[in-house]
Structure 1
Amino acid sequence: MDLIDRLLQYDKELMISINSKWDNPVLDFVCQHIRETYFWAPLYLFFITLAVINFGKKGWLWVLAAIATVALTDQVSSNLIKNNIIRLRPCRDQEIAHQIRFFINYCPGSSSFTSSHATNHFGITTFIVATLRPYLGNPILWLFLASAAVCYAQVYVGVHYPIDVICGATIGTAIGYGMSRIFNNKIGLPTL
């Protein structure tokens, strides 16, 4: 067994542990919800409102840049990567599907690699932190924990492997950082 095969086997074993061995009734409930858009919509609406009210025209440009960041992370993960790297999701993988607990209404047919949830959440989190941290301080860093919770939930509910979310988070962070650099250098928010 070569290195990549061993890594993929460990990935499957870790997925089964997270999903079926490290289970908890509270996580069973919470993980179904924290991965959904409706759960995070109020938080993102808060940041949009904050930017528009406090920064006027530049706030609207910030909103457009944030939307562009999510659009870019989603396109990279959902179209560029998933269309070229095909990996069965745990809930569709006949080798392990019978060993996992499945928590959501459907098992997506798209490739498991990379997790678009992870890519999108880490992309927008990195953009928000890198552009608003001067105004909101270090407490804004908790957003990374929230994004990590979404990643964990994706594995917990049975739709992704750990490698899918780790790579998605890494790509999202890189895109979010790049977009924040472009925004901060070309537009920027008013200095304190």
Structure 2
Amino acid sequence: MPFEFSDTDLRGVKIIKPTVFGDERGQFMEVYKREAFNEAGIEEEFVQDNCSKSEANVLRGLHYQRGDAAQTKLVQCSGGAILDTVVDLKYDSDTFGHSKSVILSEHNNRMLYVPRDYAHGFLTLTDNATVRYKVDSKYSPEDEAGIIWDDPTLEIDWPVDDPKLSDKDTTWPTLEAAVERDLVF
């Protein structure tokens, strides 16, 4: 099989490791194959591929889309390295509010499958990082939401105290405030 699918301790989140074929010329790997993903229980129809490039210590997130615009993501770091992080936002889930962080890099070739009821973000660990991800729903600005990156209740161990953030990423509510405003699933 061209992929190894591993469950995590969070509902539905999977780490995916492709088979890498290498020789003196370099390497080759498949990064997505519908049949293999369907056999592993990942049946979303991805409709868009996105790519971001970030410099060192850039933190993007924790973002999500609400309602019908919610997005499942398949995330890969094709250049450099990131600490990729998800937070369970499904209010009636046993793991609601729990987070999971995984290093994704051009060297380990791992991918992270993120179900649609999770917040997602990442921190660039190298001088530069290129992150590519598939989504199963197009971006909807009016349904965009987020959780503040340093919410102490999430207990995310970010290895930086003062990351580079967008203006928007400094204003997201805590998870508790998002729950009070009915901004979770």
- With the shorter chain as reference, the TM-score category is under 0.3
Q: Which structure shows the bigger proportion of residues in strand conformation?
A: 2
**TM-score, structure 2 as length reference:** 0.24
Q: Which structure shows the bigger proportion of residues in helix conformation?
A: 1
Higher Cα radius of gyration: 1
